[in-house]
Each structure stands twice: as C-alpha cells, then as structure tokens.
C-alpha cells in the first residue's frame, strides 16, 4: 500500500480526495490535485484508459473551439431521421428517454444561444496543448505524440469551398491556424490515396496520439510514481460518511474529505442516485483498425462522410460519428460497416485487425459544455463530466480548473459557465 493511503481503524484507509473514474478526465484530475499536495485515491473498475478514453481519434484538438450543435437545417434533420448518412444513427426505442435532453440540445443549438456556448467552450480548449504538454513531458510519453496537426479532406469543390470559409472564420474569431492544401498537393503528400480529392484544410496546431489509451496509462503511471494509489472498485458504492465520503474497493474501504465524480457516460447513474436530474445523454461511437500498405502521414477526416481516418500503432483507425442509443444497448455497428465502404473508395485498405468493431460512449450535456464544479447539495462532492467529443483533449485543462477550485486557488479560467447550477 502506497504511503498516501493511511491505514486507520483496521480495514479503512484515508485519503484527501477520492477520484472516481480513471479515464483521461479522472487521471488528469488526480494528477492536478497531486501537484497541489493532495493525497489522492483513483478508483475505477478497469485499468486506466480502457473505456471511452481508449476509443477516440487520438487528437488533442486545439482547433475544436466550437462543440457539435444539433442541426437546425431541415434537410439535415430529415437525413438523420431516415438514417441517410454515416455520421449519425439512432435506436428508435431509445428516443422516448432521450427526448427531453435532445430537445434541450436542439434549443441550445439555436444560432444566438450557440454563439454564447461556443465562446464559453473555447476558453478551455485554448489551454489544451499547454496543459497536455507538461504532463506528456513529465510522463515521458513524447514518443506517442506527433505535433503535426491533422486534415479535413473534401471530395468535392463545393464542400472544399465551405470548409475553407469555415476555417477562415475560426481563424478570425478564435485565432485557429490552418493552411489550405489543393487536390494535387494532397495527392503528393498522401500517396496512399486512390481517389483524387478536391483538397484539404490542414489544422496545424493540434497534436495526434498514436495510442490514446497508452497516453492515459502513462499519465496514470506518473500518478503512481509520485505516490498516488490506483484501486479497482465500484464507484456506485460512494456514500456520505460523517463529514466526508466513503467508497468500497477491492483493497478495502477508503474514506476521504472530498470526492470527484469523473465517470464519463456512467456519471448519470451515480448522480441520479444522489438526487440530481442533469440533462445528460450519451453519443455512442465505433472504431476498427485496418492494415495499410501506404499509411496516411496524419489523421484525416473524410468531410462528406463524417469519418475520421487516424494512423495508430495498431493500424489505421476508422472512427464513426454519433449513435443515439441507451448506454447498455446492444452494439449495432451499421455506421462502422458503412465507414469501411467509404474509406475503401479513397484508400487502399488491407484487412481489419479486430474481429469486430469497438464500441464506446461519449458523455454529453444538453448545452454542449462540461459540468465542472461542486455538487450543489452535497458538501465535499465535485462533478467533472460531460465533455462529449473532447474529453481526451480537455482532460488536463479541465482537471487543472477543478483542482484549483477544490484547493481554494483562483481559477485560471472562469468556472461559472460549467457549474451544475446552470441547469
């Protein structure tokens, strides 16, 4: 047993803070608290980085200053309703339960409200690289990271023109940097392309990670090397105990003055048991790896189809968009199969590496912003989830903000837009 967990009263151990959830958000929070002298116990049912944090596109997205809104274009809504694209799928039986949060999601996505959401959302994104950078260097994980950006590629000139206009607006409003690559140059840069493309927007600031789960695991190793303790346990056993909190783990009972719920898509289960009704829902997503004779030099989004093609250590990872379904519903990898067909139109793909597609879930809120801050009715309890598509990107930056709040420091970013009380 590491020194930070002090054995008291036989089988009960004591820490300063319990962090429930060992994905990118939870591990980053634990490290940021540890930097501030807190004794932290990190609890999860699985090893760090094996759930949602494993299955993303591996991008630290400095350009992702605007979250994904609910479409207000009637043609797009009709396309989604008839399941006419690869980027969105849904389970009809899940819609009654999802109706309320999705209606709020649509409401917050109206142009006037969305503009405010994006401004508040971007204030965390702008710190994602610097906060990851310090942890990457301290964890010795530089070999996993490439600081070359990624591309949005377009099949048609009309889509290319719209993509360039979007990139130029983001540069004007947020300082997001990019370069434009024409079709001929893209073909020279990516000899693995078998189909001529209209061109691409190269987002030059983001970083890519060749094994997202391994990066989370390296952060967790750093946490343990510095005296932190990771324990397998069931977060749903969290309960108030005296003036603090208690959780049961495989190593025994752990008490702490404060606790952080960083359970991603599983946060709703625990917060509901504590009496909270937050507008949470999940977007499920799939990925599968493929061999390639001529690998891509960097991650590339097939814009018209909404699929990300990301070079990974295991092969080319093809990720899908969003599937609206119950968290525990059976896998329906329709999008994954269609994504493979679309990818083979432009790339010389080899065989699939896995027998079946991987399935994960993104934790979302109706207003597209994460929930970061104190639980309104429970002293010593902190909420840290709802990062949707950008949990991997925002982990260290968001973890720093919460750690500063817990430790009574002046927050480096105004936390008010992310408070649970906004609902």
Tracing tokens 């054995």 back to the chain, one arrives at 7
Residue of higher predicted confidence among 84 and 377? 377
Q: Are residues 105 and 251 in the same domain?
A: no
Asked whether the beta carbons of 230 and 214 are under 8 A apart, the reply is no
DSSP string computed for 47-80: -TTSSGGGSS--EE-TT--S--PPP--HHHHHHH
Structural domain includes residue 132: no
Q: Name the CA radius of gyration of the chain, rounded.
A: 21
Does 117 map to a domain? no
Reply yes or no on whether the pLDDT at 225 is more than 70.
Answer: yes
Write out the residue range of the structural domain in which residue 309 sits.
Answer: 70-110+142-208+280-365
| 169-197 per-position pLDDT tens digit | 999 999 999 999 999 999 999 999 998 99
Same structural domain for residues 231 and 191?
A: no
Share of the chain above pLDDT 70, in %: 97
Mean pLDDT computed over every residue of the chain: 94
Angle at 61 between CA 204 and CA 113, to 5 degrees: 115
Residues 82 and 218 both lie in one domain: no
What's the pLDDT tens digit per position in 204-215?
999 999 999 999
- Which residue in this structure is represented by tokens 């540890």? 34
The answer on pLDDT for 161 being more than 80 is yes
- Helices within 321-384 (DSSP H only): 334-346
CATH number of the domain residue 151 falls in: 3.30.9.10
In angstroms, rounded to a whole number, what is the distance separating the alpha carbons of residues 192 and 352? 17
**Residue 156 sits in the same domain as residue 98:** yes
What tokens appear for 288 in the block? 């599968």
Element housing 280 (H / E): strand 280-292
DSSP assignment of 127-172 equals: THHHHHHHHHHHHT-GGGEE-S-EEEEESSHHHHHHHHHHHHHHHH
Residue 7: count other Cβ atoms within 10 Å of its Cβ.
11
To which residue do tokens 């799928």 refer? 89
Task: Answer for the pair 230, 5: CB distance below 8 angstroms, yes or no.
Answer: no
97 lies in the same domain as 47 = no
Mean per-residue pLDDT, 409-422: 98
46 in Cβ contact with 23 (< 8 Å): no
> Residue 178 is encoded by which pair of tokens?
């990019």
Residue 137 lies in a domain: no
Residue at a domain's end among 322, 338, 365: 365
- The sign of the torsion formed by the CA atoms of 317, 282, 369, 74 equals positive
Q: What pLDDT sits at residue 151?
A: 98
For 57-81, what is each residue's pLDDT tens digit?
999 999 999 999 998 887 777 777 7
Structure confidence at residue 5 (pLDDT): 57
The answer to whether residue 380 is domain-embedded is yes
99 contacts: CB under 8 Å, gap ≥ 6:
none
SS3 380: coil
Is the domain of 80 the same as that of 158?
yes
Over 90: is that where the pLDDT of 304 sits?
A: yes
Rounded distance between C-alpha atoms, residue 393 and residue 220, angstroms? 16
pLDDT class of 85 with cuts at 50, 70, 90: confident
pLDDT surpassing 70 at residue 7: no
What CATH code is carried by the domain that includes residue 256? 3.50.50.60
Is the pLDDT at 11 greater than 70? The verdict is no
- The 3-state DSSP class for residue 267 equals helix
Note the maximum CA span of the chain: 71
Please report the sign of the dihedral spanned by the C-alpha atoms of residue 52, residue 54, residue 60, residue 66.
negative
8 A C-beta contact, residue 245 and residue 239: yes
- Tokens standing for 271? 């917060």
Phi and psi based region of residue 181 (left: phi greater than 0; alpha: psi -120 to 50; beta: remaining): beta
If one counts the domains in the chain, the total is 2
Token digits of residue 300: 């590339």
Please check whether residues 223 and 361 belong to one and the same domain. Answer: no
CA-based nearest residue to 38, from 13, 18, 16, 55: 16
Are residues 172 and 272 both part of a single domain?
no
147, 207 in Cβ contact below 8 A?
Answer: yes
The pLDDT score that the predictor gives to residue 12 is: 77
Q: Look at residue 3 in the predicted model and tell me its pLDDT.
A: 41
DSSP string, 219-252: HHHHHHHTT-EEEEB-GGG-EEETTEEEEEETTE
pLDDT at 9 over 70: no
- Output the pLDDT for position 10: 43
């Amino acid at each position: 047993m590491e020194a930070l967990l002090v054995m008291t009263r036989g089988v009960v151990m004591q820490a300063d803070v319990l962090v429930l959830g060992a994905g990118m958000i939870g591990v980053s929070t634990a490290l940021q608290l540890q930097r501030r002298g807190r004794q932290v116990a990190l609890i999860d049912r699985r090893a760090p980085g094996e759930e949602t944090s494993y299955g993303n596109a591996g991008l630290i997205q400095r350009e992702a200053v605007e979250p994904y809104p609910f479409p207000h274009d009637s043609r797009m809504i009709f396309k989604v309703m008839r399941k006419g694209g690869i980027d969105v799928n849904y389970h009809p039986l899940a819609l009654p339960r999802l109706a309320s949060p999705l209606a709020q999601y649509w409401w917050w996505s109206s142009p006037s409200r969305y503009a405010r959401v994006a401004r508040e959302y971007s204030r965390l994104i702008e710190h994602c690289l610097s906060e990851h950078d310090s942890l990457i260097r301290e964890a010795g994980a530089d070999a996993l990271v490439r600081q070359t950006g990624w591309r949005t590629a377009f099949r048609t000139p009309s889509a290319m023109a719209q993509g360039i206009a979007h990139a130029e607006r983001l540069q004007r409003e947020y300082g997001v940097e990019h370069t434009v690559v024409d079709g001929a140059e893209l073909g020279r840069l990516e000899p693995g392309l078998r189909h001529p493309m209209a061109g691409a927007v190269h987002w030059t600031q983001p970083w890519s990670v060749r094994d997202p789960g391994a990066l989370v695991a390296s952060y967790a190793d750093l946490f343990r090397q510095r005296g932190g303790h990771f324990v397998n346990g069931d977060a749903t056993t969290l309960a108030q105990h005296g003036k603090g909190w208690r959780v049961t783990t495989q190593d025994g009972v752990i008490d702490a003055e404060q606790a952080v719920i960083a359970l991603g898509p599983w946060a709703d289960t625990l917060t509901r048991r504590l009496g909270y009704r937050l507008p949470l829902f999940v977007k499920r997503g799939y990925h599968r790896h493929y061999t390639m004779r001529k690998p891509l030099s960097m991650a590339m989004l097939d814009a018209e189809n909404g699929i990300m093609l990301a070079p990974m250590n295991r092969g080319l990872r093809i990720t899908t968009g969003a599937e609206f379904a119950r968290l525990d519903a059976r896998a329906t990898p329709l999008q994954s199969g269609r994504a493979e067909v679309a990818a083979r139109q432009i790339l010389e793909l080899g065989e699939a590496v896995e027998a079946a597609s991987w399935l994960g879930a993104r934790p979302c809120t109706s207003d597209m912003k994460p929930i970061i801050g104190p639980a309104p009715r429970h002293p010593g309890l902190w909420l840290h989830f709802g990062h949707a598509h950008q949990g991997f990107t925002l982990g260290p930056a968001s973890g720093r903000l919460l750690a500063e709040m817990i430790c009574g420091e002046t927050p480096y970013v105004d936390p008010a837009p992310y408070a649970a009380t906004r609902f």
